[in-house]
Amino acid sequence: MTIEEIERLAAWCASAGIGEIEVSEAGFSLRLHMQSVVASTPPAEAPKAETAFKGVRAPGVGVFRLDHPTTGRPIAGPGQVVRKGETVGVLQVGPCLRAVLAPVDGVLGAALVEDGAVVGYGTPLYELV
């Protein structure tokens, strides 16, 4: 994990109100503990933001991959028709991969984050039309 990824992870945790996170893999372990955690948006506004976005959100914390790490091939692309439950990307946490699934049927818009970006739970990844 690079220092830039650690800085992005720490910034995301602070803005999301997460006080502590631990990431481990063979030969590497990172534990972040935030001394003062302040959410960037008041709790009353969070539900509005959650319901306003119609698309695919990150199911957890990780590195978002548009191309599958083992094949190098794109998993899904803009304009592709997808069905509910279909894999449209993956989150990578160390050696582990977690499928990012379409929540409903639709057509994928452009990716909202770049391949390799560290994302947090609920980060918008694709719009669905």
| DSSP β-ladder status, 62-65 and 96-101 | unpaired
The count of domains in the chain is 1
CA distance linking residue 102 with residue 108, whole number of Å: 9
**Domain span at 33:** 3-128
Q: Which residue has the tokens 């039309």?
A: 129
Burial class (CB in 10 A: 0-12, 13-18, 19+), 57: middle
Q: What residues have CB less than 8 Å from 42, skipping those under 6 apart?
A: none
CATH code assigned at 43: 2.40.50.100
Per-position pLDDT tens, the chain of length 129: 677 777 777 777 776 677 777 777 777 788 777 765 444 555 555 455 445 678 999 998 899 999 988 888 999 989 999 999 999 999 998 888 899 999 999 999 989 999 999 999 899 999 998
